[in-house]
Amino acid sequence: MPVLEELEESFCRYRIDRTFRAELKALLDRYAGRPTPLTFAGNLSRKAGCRIYLKREDLLHGGAHKTNNCLGQALLARYMGKKRLIAETGAGQHGFATAMVGALFGLKTVIYMGEEDTHRQRMNVLRMRLCGAEVVPVKTGSRTLKDAINEAMRDWIAHVEDTFYLFGTTAGPHPFPTMVKHFQSVIGREAHRQIRSLEGRLPDAVVACVGGGSNALGIFQAFLGRAEVKLYGVEGAGEGLEGERHSAPLNRGTDGVLHGAYTRILQDGDGQIREAWSISAGLDYPGVGPEHSHLRETGRVRYVAVTDKEALDAFVLLSRTEGIIPALESSHAIAYSLKLGRRLGKEAVVVVNLSGRGDKDLEHAQSALERIGRVL
Amino acid sequence: MTRYAATFQALRARKEKAFIPFFVMGDPDYGTSLDAVKAALGAGADMLELGIGFSDPIADGPTIQAADIRALQAGMTVDRCFRFIRDIRTFSDVPIGLLVYCNLIYRRGIDRFFREAGQAGVDGILAADVPVEEAGQFLEASDRWNVDPIFMVTPATTEKRLDAILKRASGFLYMVALLGVTGARGSLHPAALKLLRRVRSRTDLPICVGFGISRPEHVRMLARSGADGAIVGSAVVDILARNLSNRSKMIREVGSFVRQMKAQTLPR
């Protein structure tokens, strides 16, 4: 608790501090490459039957939106005088982004990654190590993201003095959900401005995938107050919502406490946490950011789910039609935008958060495609 | 008078400290676990701390994590844990504290969990991941069902939080001897004795020290430094883990370990 209070206090102080903000802005612009473009996906739009724009977080340095949050938190760590960064990672994108900023700021960096995920995302492990981070394979539990979080929390409890836990998503204990949303909200601010200048109006819908939920909250934030903009969060339906192999706590979970947040989680009747499943390592988390649970309850955001197969199809389709290889996570959002087109009509403007690029997923996607009898 | 109050009073009268072994209920299976508890009580354990296995025990090191997994794989559920405690109550009247992660309490319903625990014979509940700031409903339920709310104090606990905890805690105070997770350590952390002095000066509530306590000399040192009890988890669970293929040796070793540790809590 004291360490969370210290973090909250520092975050509240520096988020409004002029020097901190200027320094973060400069890093985002000149190191990470903001603003990222909003690309009209003409070929995909014809297929989908609506006007689809892609918010290109895949073009951000590091290859995913994670860099926004990592720069913000690492800068905060420096202002707080911390010497060591730790982080959990699922797909490896957050781990890699943390390793990048660790190298940039000269901070010792340790990344906890489920052993299962270190195999699924070998390239990201290499990238992290290349940037000087120590990657610790986590061998407990389901050996995926939730277990990596458990292990990072254990490390943090033992090293609170010098260590900053750079949490990757809008889940976990307060102030992480608030703080991560804050650092990711730059996505929505830009998209809001860009779509107005390109289309002269706000979009009819904004679509983003939801694992922990940081890219989704990041882009939704700017549109929450505009009721005419429909918001869709897309969870991983895995092999189907009717079975147990999915990662859709907002669609199929129940209320509970995981990693210090009261939210929708996948659990059994006793409250034991169930393992989540998704083709995409970045989505298979049995919980979700508490703000998403709230937005689900108020009905402001509609939470839907897309299967592994639909996501794979979208992964291939975007590559073929636009020459853009999306991350498997973001492929879930693409897949749902195709369904939306048929519903909203061809004049409808849909913004999809393309949260990351798919280079990291090539091997994994290829073997998944082969299993269903397709070749790249 | 509660079992905790009566037991600590009796111990103080005899100038003894409490020795409190920790077990994960159902580790490695229901029957063996119950035998281990019996052996510990037979060897002089004054109280028990019992854990309900959880899928994501973030406050625990590898030893207890493995015990949780063994218990869950052996089919332990919350219902069976309450039955386990009722079974203990057929042969023992020592105070029993429950160590549990809060999702298991939430899922069942806070009030129902405390009621069923109390009815099974639980004297105190420590929810490892519920800070005092969030404990409102837990405190109401503990009050209603006469189960003491046990709180942890660590070397990182600020004065302000210590105040809040002391206002609400009853039964005893669980002092965490180090910064970190559970697990046997070679030596007692220097912060432990410092924290003990700091907390001792603030409360008459019994203080029991846990985390990293594994050797007789740790217990002796704590007993002489004003602690009212020592809680030993990983070192006990280690005995179970080491002897999974020889149950009778396991039970014997639990007995002799507890006897050796209990001896350190007697007056000089």
| Three-state secondary structure of A68-99 | HHHHHHHHHHHHCCCCEEEEEECCCHHHHHHH
Provide the pairing of β-strand A254-258 with A230-238: unpaired
Residues with Cβ < 8 Å from B115, sequence gap 6 or more? B141, B144, B145
Residues 34-53 of B with CB under 8 A from A: none
Distance from CA of B104 to the nearest CA of A (A): 5
Report the chain A residue with the minimal C-alpha distance to residue B158: A2
Residues 80-139 of B with CB under 8 A from A: 102-108, 129, 131, 133
B204 vs A: CB within 8 A: no
Residue in A60, A88, A65 with CA at minimum distance from that of residue A284: A88
Helices B136-144 and B110-120: angle between axes, nearest 10 degrees: 40
Q: In a 3-state reduction of DSSP, which class is residue B22?
A: strand
A153 vs B: CB within 8 A: yes
Q: Give the whole-angstrom CA distance, residue B149 versus residue B139.
A: 7
Q: Of how many residues is chain B composed?
A: 268
Task: Name residue B98's beta-bridge partners.
Answer: B50, B125
Beta strands in A139-229 (DSSP E): 163-165, 205-209
pLDDT score at B252:
98
- Residues A211-231, buried b or exposed e (16+ Cβ, 10 A)? bbbbbbbbbbbbbbeeeebbb
Q: What is the pLDDT along chain A (376 residues), one digit of tens a residue?
A: 788 999 999 999 999 999 999 999 999 999 999 999 999 999 999 999 999 999 999 999 999 999 999 999 999 999 999 999 999 998 899 999 999 999 999 999 999 999 988 987 888 999 999 999 999 999 987 788 888 999 999 999 889 889 999 999 999 999 999 999 999 999 999 999 999 999 999 999 999 999 999 999 999 999 999 999 999 999 999 999 999 999 999 999 999 999 999 999 999 999 999 999 999 988 989 999 999 999 999 999 999 999 999 999 999 999 999 999 999 999 999 999 999 988 999 999 999 999 999 998 998 899 999 988 877 7
Catalytic residue positions of B, numbered: 49, 60
First to last CA, chain B: 29
A148 vs B: CB within 8 A: no
pLDDT score at A91:
80
Provide the pairing of β-strand A51-56 with A38-40: antiparallel
Q: Give the whole-angstrom CA distance, residue B190 versus residue A64.
A: 44
pLDDT score at B101:
97
Distance from CA of B103 to the nearest CA of A (A): 5
A71 vs B: CB within 8 A: no
Report the chain A residue with the minimal C-alpha distance to residue B65: A140
Inter-chain contact B103–A1, Cβ cutoff 8 Å?
Answer: no
Residues with Cβ < 8 Å from B85, sequence gap 6 or more? B25, B50, B96, B98, B117, B120, B121, B122
pLDDT score at A40:
98
A174 vs B: CB within 8 A: no
pLDDT score at A2:
82
Residues with Cβ < 8 Å from B90, sequence gap 6 or more? none
Distance from CA of B101 to the nearest CA of A (A): 9
> How many angstroms separate the Cα of A314 from the Cα of each of A235, A310, A319, A322?
15, 6, 8, 11
Q: What is the pLDDT along chain B (268 residues), one digit of tens a residue?
A: 899 999 999 999 999 999 999 999 999 999 999 999 999 999 999 999 999 999 999 999 889 999 999 999 999 999 999 999 999 999 999 999 999 999 999 999 999 999 999 999 999 999 999 999 999 999 999 999 999 999 999 988 999 999 999 999 999 999 998 878 888 777 778 888 889 999 999 999 999 999 889 999 999 999 988 999 999 999 999 999 999 999 999 999 999 999 999 999 999 7
Residue in B257, B49, B166, B54 with CA at minimum distance from that of residue A267: B54
Q: Give the whole-angstrom CA distance, residue A59 versus residue A36.
A: 7
pLDDT score at A374:
79
B209 vs A: CB within 8 A: no
Beta strands in chain B (DSSP E): 18-24, 48-51, 96-100, 124-127, 148-149, 151-153, 173-176, 207-210, 229-232
Is A88 marked active-site?
Answer: yes
pLDDT score at A342:
84
- pLDDT, tens digit, for every residue of A200-247? 999 999 999 999 999 999 999 999 999 999 999 999 999 999 999 999
What are the two backbone dihedrals, phi and then psi, of residue B152, each rounded to the nearest 5 degrees? Answer: -95, 140
Task: Name residue A267's beta-bridge partners.
Answer: A273
Inter-chain contact A257–B72, Cβ cutoff 8 Å?
Answer: no
Contact yes or no for A113/A136 (Cβ under 8 A): yes
* Element containing residue B227 per DSSP (H, E): none
pLDDT score at A34:
98
Contact yes or no for A366/A316 (Cβ under 8 A): no
Tokens of A342: 């048929």
pLDDT score at B140:
97
Q: Give the whole-angstrom CA distance, residue B54 versus residue B65.
A: 8
pLDDT score at B179:
78
Q: Which residues of A fall within a CB distance of 8 Å from B57?
A: 150
Sign of CA dihedral B52, B57, B60, B66: positive
Inter-chain contact B56–A265, Cβ cutoff 8 Å?
Answer: no
Inter-chain contact A258–B161, Cβ cutoff 8 Å?
Answer: no
Q: Could you say which of A55, A66, A82, A181 is catalytic? A: A66
A376 vs B: CB within 8 A: no
* Element containing residue A38 per DSSP (H, E): strand A38-40
Facing A157 at nearest CB: one of B105, B108, B180: B180
Distance from CA of A2 to the nearest CA of B (A): 7
> How many angstroms separate the Cα of A293 from the Cα of each of A14, B57, B84?
28, 23, 36
